[in-house]
Amino acid sequence: MMRGLCYSALSYAPLFIDRTTVVIGDGDLAIRSSAELATIAKQVHLICETGNALASPLGKKLVASDNVSILKQHEVVEVRGDDFARAVILKDPEGKLNELQADGTFIEMALIPNSQMVADLVELDEQGRIIVDCANRTNVPGFSPPAMSLLDLPSKCWWLSAKALKPPLARTITCYPCSDQ
């Protein structure tokens, strides 16, 4: 369980059946992760700054869910635990600190793709992710993200987010349907 601090609800949700979880984030990724966890977890606490994404149909469903609590305008000050993350310390809008116990804490924040080195070569979407089709092709024939990772780059991880290590295709690439299907 990544010692109780996780970066992918999609990957680790099955480990939190009938457990208490915390999701930290304010966008669509946090909403989707909270919804995934809400189907199996005993309790999901969504910690968000504005809660703007809650206006979506999925967000409205979360708001109505009995096992989801939404803590708007709360700030995570600290993660506490022993060998595992066991609690988060929150600062509420009035500045008061509160401890929230959890079996798992998920960091689900928007990521910034690290695709600047190829920005002049391939098409990027509005968020800076490399655009590929279902066959993992970019607009440049023979130029695909996995092939590029074979280049002798210092880190060989050019596709990783600047803020967190996540699977490359999920965070750096926007996939579109193949035109030849």
- In this model, does residue 139 exceed pLDDT 70? yes
Domain edges within the chain: 2-107, 112-181
Residues 137, 158: contact at Cβ < 8 Å?
no
- In this model, does residue 152 exceed pLDDT 80? no
**Lowest mean pLDDT segment, chosen from 28-37, 82-91, 170-179:** 170-179
| 69-86 average pLDDT score | 93
Which residues face 104 on adjacent strands? 21
DSSP 104: E
Q: How confident is the model at residue 162 (pLDDT cuts 50, 70, 90)?
A: very low
pLDDT, tens digit, 9 for 90 and up, residues 15-69: 999 999 999 998 888 999 999 999 999 999 999 988 888 999 999 999 999 999 9
User: pTM of this prediction?
Assistant: 0.67
Which residues face 42 on adjacent strands? none
**Can you identify the CATH homologous superfamily of domain 2-107?**
FAD/NAD(P)-binding domain (3.50.50.60)
pLDDT, tens digit, 9 for 90 and up, residues 140-151: 988 877 554 444
State the number of CA atoms in the 13 A half-sphere of 142 facing the CB. Answer: 0
pLDDT value, residue 179: 54
pLDDT value, residue 117: 87
What's the CA gap between 172 and 152, in Å, rounded?
19
Angle at 81 between CA 76 and CA 87, to 5 degrees: 40
pLDDT, greater one: 177 or 122: 122
pLDDT value, residue 154: 33
